[in-house]
Structure 1
């Protein structure tokens, strides 16, 4: 089953930052070759990309499931960077967001993960960081009013 995701980073393309500007961002259909090409672009190879994203090598087999991923990083100067990409879906064996240690190592302790999320519907990594937080700000008081009428 394929999934389409945004594939960009805000350092190279400001449209990738929050809020995302979808104009000119072409969705990509996730596949193993997309992950391998990302590895080649980073000149680190697939295994290094895998360890960065929480697994030692790309999982194999017909059950390989892909997801979209959004990562917000900040550097030592407080600059924010957003990455939207394809990833392997989260499972018992793989957690693409378990990478805080890797980011720290790759940046010599100068970078940290502020937000990381995977999702499994087309273009879901095009959302802003806290969509559910905004909803809950309104939903919780409404729910409290509703419940108070029953008490």
Structure 2
């Protein structure tokens, strides 16, 4: 009986130590890597369908270290923008946003019109196509509800 109690105590302490170590990491800012590119005649791999060959990967936390609002968090961003000459470009980058803020399309100038904008917060997530991102946004909560 004493051996069983010791084993139970050992397992409990081990689980508590593992939980404490896991939660310790939550207090540190998490690293976020994002693709960084603009599709054009010189870099067609950045466009959809996306091909990561030769595409720069950046540490978004480093890229966005100087934030004006301490509540802002780094995110990966993907924009589709129409240039005045009619070309459609894809831009993949890092950005900072407030947690409850959504990505909105804005005209950066009279020369560039944003048609599509999406943000995400997992490593290299700005590789996703709009359809894949929409499917993930719809099915993730459904799957979580089914598993709960």
TM-score scaled by length of structure 1: 0.59
Give runs of ≥4 in structure 1 deviating > 6 Å: none
Higher strand proportion (structure 1 or 2): 2
Structure 1 residue 91 and structure 2 residue 99: aligned? yes
Whose radius of gyration is greater, 1 or 2? 2
Deviations 1:90-142, CA, capped at 9 Å, x for gaps:
434x55x33514x2xx2x2x32111100001111100122225679xxx9xxx
The equivalent residue for 1:72 is 80
Structure 2 gaps, min length 5: 1-29, 140-148
The equivalent residue for 1:112 is 113
Aligned residues: 107
- Answer yes or no: is the 8 Å Cα contact 1:18–1:129 preserved in 2: no
The equivalent residue for 1:23 is 53
Q: Which moved more, 1:80-89 or 1:123-132?
A: 123-132
TM superposition shift of 1:89: 3.3
- Answer yes or no: is the 8 Å Cα contact 1:90–1:118 preserved in 2: no
The equivalent residue for 2:34 is 5
* TM-aligned CA distance change 1:59 to 1:75, over 3 Å: same
Distance in structure 2 (CA, Å) of the matches to 1:117 and 1:74: 16
The equivalent residue for 2:7 is none
Structure 1 gaps, min length 5: 37-45, 47-57, 140-151
RMSD of Structure 2 on Structure 1 (CA): 2.8
